[in-house]
Amino acid sequence: MAVSEEIMRMQTERSIKKLATLCGTALLATLLMVSATFGQSAATGGGDQAAAPKLPGEKTLPGETGGPYTDPLEPFNSAMFKFNVDLDQYVVTPVAKGYSYVMPEPARQSVNNFFRNVGVIPRFANNLFQLHPYNAANELARFGINSTLGVAGLFDVADSWFGMKQHNDDFGLTLGHYGIYSGPYVMLPFFGPSTVRDTVGLVVDGCMNPMAWLLPWYVTIPADAGSEAINAVNYRSLHPNQFEEADRYAVDLYGAVQDAYMQTRVAELKRIAQ
């Protein structure tokens, strides 16, 4: 007994060291991006995406936002995009269809609520980092209410009974809020569209998971991967036509997804700034 406990302890220490290395790297990447931002601002006058050079006298109508985006990682991104689309078409969608037959829609909505509820820590922390204490406290209160009255987060009673809305937030938005340049567009396998800044944000948010520090890696990584997979299948089953809709109206699906993601991030930053 004592020997296996000892081994567990040693392995937990080792995985903590690995995790610390990973999170330390993420923070280092953040610092690098901060310094890169100053270089970028000096070179192009700032701005989140490199805009196309305009001829003198060319008018921009109000509201003409977005693109074109320089896409230096385009070969990688295209490959990852194809991978994600194939994964969705051949794996996630069929599984989601079967899943929909077994699980009624209200149950699937509850599963969605459960995953949203347990993702509270990055939302809470990032609302604090962005100096929105009211929203942070709101997130904490929502978690408390939904976990108790909402039966372990299955029901979002904080919203339906008390009108407390969720304030979505992540470390990528925190970095953007403090002026960090977004960096080039990155299409991540499994995770979907992102930018260099937002990918760093993803890692940092992942480091905020307390389970990752308490349990060894061979427990947390499969558990996280499994729960993410369930979340993905569940979400896909709630939005069955999303891909088909996007494909129907897009002349270039890659560009449509890229622009939709970048515009959404800009809008989120605007929302936070208010």
Partner 1 sequence: MFGNNHSAGNLRTPLAPWVSSATARIAFGAFAAAMLALMVATAVSPPEAWALPTALDTVSQVVNTALPVLRDRSSPVPQRRRKLRSLLEQHFDFSDMSRIALGYHWRELSTQQRAQFTQLFTAFIENAYLSKIQDYSGQDVAILGQNAEGEGFARVRSQIIQSGKQPIKVDYLLRDMDGDWKIYDVTVDAISIVANYRNQFNRVINDQGFDKLMSDMRVKQQQLEASMGS
> What does the binding site for partner 1 look like in residue numbers (CB under 8 A)?
52-55, 58, 61-69, 248-252, 254-256, 258-260, 263-264, 267
Give CA–CA dist 108/198, Å, rounded. 28
Task: Give whichever of 37 and 138 is closer to partner 1, judged by the CB atom.
Answer: 138
Give CA–CA dist 188/48, Å, rounded. 20
Type and span of the H or E element at 69: none
Write down the least CB distance from residue 78 to partner 1, Å: 10
Write down the least CB distance from residue 254 to partner 1, Å: 7
Task: Give whichever of 128 and 250 is closer to partner 1, judged by the CB atom.
Answer: 250
Write down the least CB distance from residue 131 to partner 1, Å: 23
**DSSP 8-state class, residue 71:** -
Give CA–CA dist 205/210, Å, rounded. 11
Task: Give whichever of 155 and 207 is closer to partner 1, judged by the CB atom.
Answer: 155
Task: Give whichever of 45 and 57 is closer to partner 1, judged by the CB atom.
Answer: 57
Write down the least CB distance from residue 125 to partner 1, Å: 24
Write down the least CB distance from residue 161 to partner 1, Å: 15
Chain position carrying tokens 């890692």: 203
**8 CB neighbour count, 10 Å cutoff:** 12
Phi, psi of 196 (to 5 degrees): -60, -45
Task: Give whichever of 139 and 259 is closer to partner 1, judged by the CB atom.
Answer: 259
**83 CB neighbour count, 10 Å cutoff:** 13
